[in-house]
Structures are given as C-alpha cells and as structure tokens.
C-alpha cells in the first residue's frame, strides 16, 4: 500500500460520476477498497455507521496528496451494513452482488483497484486483502429526523473524540452508541474491547470514548438523555462520582459506594448508574480461588486505601463473606468506609469490618490471606516507585524512596507463606508491591482481571437480553474482550 494516503472525512464515501445514477437509483449497495478498512483502521468504515455518499466532480489522487472535489447537491445518506476483509483470491461470485456492473469478478476488480488507487498488479494480487463494504440507503425523512444532541456538544467543544484509546471511532454516525466519558485522554481499552465483542456477537452497537473538555455535566447528561442513539456507557475516573448528581436513578451497587462506572439508559430516557468495579474485582478473586479449589469465604483480607476504588471493592468483599481490615493514610476515611459497610450489612453473624492507620499494617499483615492495594501508590505518576505497603512521602527523592522501601521490606517479611498479593493499579510492568511479592515467591494478581471483569459485568448489564437471546455467556464476552485488549485470560 502506498505511504501517501489522504486523511479523508470518515463520514463520506466518494463515487465517480459514472456510478452516480446507480447510487441515485439505490442499485449500488457494495464497494471494494484496497487493503484493510475496518472500524478503527485508517480510512476504515464501521458496521452501523451512517455515511454521506457524494458524487465526485473532480477526482483526487492519494499519491499527489490531492483530495477529490464533490458535486454540489449530489449526496445520499447510506448506512454501512457490513465491512468484511478478504483475500482477493478468495472472493466468490456472491461477494460481487450489489457491486457496479463493471466490477463483477476478480479480474475486473483488480483492474479497477489498480487504476483508481494507482496500485501495481502485485499490490492487487490474489494474496492482497480487499475490504468489501455493503450499505443500505436512507431516505430524506429519516435523515431529517436525526438531529443529534451529542454531535452538537462535539461541535461546541464540550466533548471531544478521545485520540489515545486504540481503535476509537472518530464518528458518531451509528444507530446505537455506547459512549464512555473520560476526564483525560488516555489509552482506555473500552472501545476496542466492546467493539470487538459487538462485532463477534453480531450486536448492532458501537462503543466510542469521548473526553469531557468542559465540565458542564448537566448539559452532557441532558444530551445523553435526548440523543436517541445513546443507550448507555462508561464513566472514567474523576467522573464516576462527579456525574452522580446528574443521573436519574442509581442501582444499589452505585448508591452504596457513591460512584458509578456504567450508565444504562432506561426505557423512559432516564439515566441509571451502576457500579461494576467491585463486582469485577471479586469475580477475578473468585476465579483465582476456584482454580486453587479454594473459596474466598472466610479469608482474612487487608485492603490498603479508602478512595473510590477501595469503596467499590470493600462493599463487594464484605458481601462475599471475607474478614476485612481497611488501612488508610487518612484514618477517618477508613473509619467511615468500615462504618458504612457495617451499617449496610447490620448486626449479623459476620465479623464487623475493621480499620487501622498505615502504621499498623505491619501488625495485621501476618494474619492476612489476601493483601490488596487500591491506593495510588505504585501507579504511574509521582508515586510510581513507592511500595503500597509503607507510607509514601513526596518528593520521590532518593532518601524518601529508600525509607519507603526499607519499611516495605520489613512489612513484607511478616507476610505469611501462601498469601495472595493483589494490586489493582494498572501498569504495563509490575508495581513495586507486586515485584517485591514475586521476589519472595508469593502469589500475585495485577489490575487486569479487575478491568476485564468490570467490563464484562457492565456489558452483561447493558446487553443482558441480547446475550440471552443469542445464547451467549459472560465467559464468551470475557474471552472476546481479553483477546481484544491483549490480555491473556
């Protein structure tokens, strides 16, 4: 494929003049493009995407960097029905149904691709890939009905397409949208995980990550409510609690921890918040113990941290019947969290959740079966080199780091053999806590099971009925998501 390729508008599809009568008559329903042009690929199209077909007045040329010029007033809206990549040599007669009359077999296709895209015979050889794009036509009335409130916010700069998440679509031209709102533009894996799963299961919906540029959450919630395409979606760190006042209903999973990571639009258009972070975390732990033919029930757990994530995890852990101690730098936060959990579960047979300051971790760790870090110690940023086991003082000077590592090593010596050390912090490499635990032969778990399982739980809440009617399980969803994100299951 040539290096020089124009970055054309993904919402447009260009047709030469000679083909326009076929477009006007609605006869042409398939086009071929050289190479791989699926959702997220450069100049790719997505299933369900709405695109404007335009007539080319003056042809362009990728290799000269000249874009086409379109004829005024010659346009039709089409919806992409499927986007399939095949080897040219594997194309069958059926693949050409709906294509223009002069592209009806491999020979004529190779000729046309070579001519239009200035490609050599080798570049359109039998082993080269071609993308088959099939579409339907919209009529004018359908088009006018689609005034789109979320597009309006993009235009106003309140929202922006996130550029870091891999394969994040750069268009909202879809019939159904699952939109994840992010406070910062970072390489979130939600779009790739969800879109791969949609594609694999044949569910018509598209996941798009948008960054909140203007913190006008009331306005954003209103647009989500009124935009017919929005069916729900994720809330990233920073918005999980900030968005709460603008939601119409809260599931108990979100109400108990005062944070929501997934919103589902209700039949009446209202927005309902759920929280699957804790469920996802506990699902990962359950799986770990099932593989060891053990149970989570009754395990002694030391949870480090009392922030948003610790809240979500702690409620679910307590519900799973563990004996929980929460340690935090700010003791009052650990105390409040323990009190809220104890209040929720009431005076039953179970042991109440306890709390302690960071300085007492050393006394408790020896009896803990599971130690979990849910603080930001060890996360990318100023605390990246600190172990979560000991206090972390900034700046990250050699002296402060050495003191943190000295205390952490002393605490680690108290940990019992066979204990599991978990760090929910997501990093490409081990956090200092996990690295030190591995070094002394302890079992460890990183943040991947949690991020994967919270996604699977959220997907199941949003698409539960569709999964049921397709006869698909959460396990299958997990498998598609894990593969898409590059996680080994």
Give the catalytic positions in this structure: 240
Contact 103, 124 (CB under 8 A): no
Structure tokens at 259: 């944070």
Contacts of 186 (CB under 8 A, 6+ apart): 162, 164, 165
Q: Which residues of 25-50 are buried (b: 16+ CB within 10 A; e: fewer)?
A: eeebbbbbbbbbbbbbbebbbbbbbb
Closer to ligand NAP at the Cβ: 74 or 448? 448
Comparing every residue's Cβ against ligand NAP, the nearest one is 307
Nearest to 189, CA basis, from 166, 160, 212, 163: 166
Closer to ligand NAP at the Cβ: 77 or 277? 277
Please state, in angstroms and as integers, the Cα–Cα distance from residue 340 to each residue in 181, 255, 306, 314, 325, following that order: 28, 12, 12, 10, 14
**How many other β-carbons are positioned within 10 Å of the β-carbon of residue 20?**
18
Minimal distance, residue 485 CB to ligand NAP, in Å: 11
Minimal distance, residue 79 CB to ligand NAP, in Å: 35
Minimal distance, residue 279 CB to ligand NAP, in Å: 11
Q: Where are the alpha helices (DSSP H) in 320-359?
A: 331-345
The binding site for ligand NAP (CB under 6 A) comprises 237, 277, 305-310, 328-330, 333, 374-377, 379, 391-392, 424-426, 447, 450-451, 454
| Residue 183, helix vs strand vs coil | coil
Query: In this structure, are strands 129-137 and 69-87 parallel, antiparallel, or unpaired?
Result: antiparallel
Closer to ligand NAP at the Cβ: 171 or 431? 431
CA distance linking residue 346 with residue 337, whole number of Å:
14
Closer to ligand NAP at the Cβ: 23 or 262? 262
Structure tokens at 252: 């108990």
Closer to ligand NAP at the Cβ: 163 or 332? 332
CA distance linking residue 71 with residue 18, whole number of Å:
13
Distance separating the N- and C-terminal Cα atoms of the chain: 34
Contact 118, 63 (CB under 8 A): yes
Q: Which phi and psi (to 5°) does residue 355 adopt? A: -140, 160
CA distance linking residue 300 with residue 324, whole number of Å:
6
Contact 478, 456 (CB under 8 A): yes
Closer to ligand NAP at the Cβ: 132 or 456? 456
Contacts of 181 (CB under 8 A, 6+ apart): 159, 209, 210, 211, 212, 220, 233, 234, 235, 236, 239, 243
Contacts of 74 (CB under 8 A, 6+ apart): 20, 54, 55
Closer to ligand NAP at the Cβ: 195 or 373? 373
Minimal distance, residue 165 CB to ligand NAP, in Å: 15
Please state, in angstroms and as integers, the Cα–Cα distance from residue 86 to each residue in 36, 83, 112, 126, 443, following that order: 9, 10, 17, 10, 44
Contact 366, 416 (CB under 8 A): yes
Minimal distance, residue 331 CB to ligand NAP, in Å: 8
Closer to ligand NAP at the Cβ: 130 or 451? 451
Minimal distance, residue 254 CB to ligand NAP, in Å: 14
Closer to ligand NAP at the Cβ: 36 or 333? 333
Nearest to 199, CA basis, from 9, 481, 461: 481
């Amino acid at each position: 494929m040539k290096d020089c390729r124009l970055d054309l508008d993904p919402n447009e599809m260009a047709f030469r003049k000679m083909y326009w009568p076929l477009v006007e008559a609605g006869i042409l329903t398939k086009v071929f493009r050289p190479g791989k042009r699926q959702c997220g690929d450069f100049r790719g199209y997505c299933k369900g995407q709405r695109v404007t077909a335009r007539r080319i007045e003056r042809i362009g040329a990728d290799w000269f960097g000249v874009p086409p010029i379109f004829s005024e007033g010659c346009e039709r809206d089409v919806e992409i029905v499927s986007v399939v990549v095949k080897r040219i040599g594997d194309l069958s007669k059926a693949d050409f149904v709906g294509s223009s009359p002069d592209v009806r077999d491999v020979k004529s296709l190779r000729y046309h691709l070579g001519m239009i895209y200035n490609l050599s015979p080798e570049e359109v050889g039998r082993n080269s890939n071609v993308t088959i794009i099939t579409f339907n036509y919209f009529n004018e009335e359908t088009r006018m009905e689609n005034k789109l409130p979320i597009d309006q916010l993009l235009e106003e700069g309140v929202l922006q397409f996130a550029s870091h998440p891999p394969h994040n679509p750069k268009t909202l031209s879809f019939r159904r949208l699952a939109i994840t709102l992010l406070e910062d533009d970072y390489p979130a894996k939600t779009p790739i995980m969800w879109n791969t799963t949609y594609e694999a299961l044949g569910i018509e919906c598209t996941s798009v990550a948008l960054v909140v540029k203007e913190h006008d959450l009331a306005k954003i919630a209103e647009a989500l409510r009124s935009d017919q395409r929005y069916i729900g979606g994720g809330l990233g760190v920073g918005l999980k609690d900030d968005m709460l006042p603008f939601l119409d209903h809260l599931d108990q999973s979100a109400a108990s921890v005062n944070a929501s990571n997934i919103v589902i639009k209700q039949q009446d258009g209202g927005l309902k918040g759920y929280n699957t972070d804790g469920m996802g975390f506990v699902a990962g732990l359950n799986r770990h113990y099932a593989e060891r033919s053990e149970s989570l029930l009754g395990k002694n757990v030391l949870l480090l941290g009392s922030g948003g994530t610790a809240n979500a995890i702690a409620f679910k852990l307590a519900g799973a019947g563990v004996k929980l101690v929460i340690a935090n730098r700010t003791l009052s936060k650990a105390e409040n969290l323990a009190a809220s959990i104890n209040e929720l579960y009431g005076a039953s047979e179970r042991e109440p959740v306890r709390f302690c300051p960071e300085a007492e971790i050393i006394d408790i760790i020896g009896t803990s079966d599971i130690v979990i870090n849910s603080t930001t110690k060890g996360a990318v940023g100023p605390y990246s080199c600190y172990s979560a086991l000991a206090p972390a003082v900034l700046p990250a000077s050699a002296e402060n780091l050495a003191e943190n590592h000295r205390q952490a090593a002393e605490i680690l010596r108290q940990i019992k053999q066979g204990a599991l050390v978990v760090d929910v912090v997501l990093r490409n490499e081990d956090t200092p806590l996990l690295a030190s635990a591995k070094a002394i032969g302890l079992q460890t778990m990183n943040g991947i099971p949690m991020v994967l399982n919270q996604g699977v739980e959220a997907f199941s809440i949003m698409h539960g009925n569709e999964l049921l009617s397709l006869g698909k399980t959460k396990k299958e969803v997990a498998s598609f998501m894990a593969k898409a994100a590059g996680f080994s299951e």
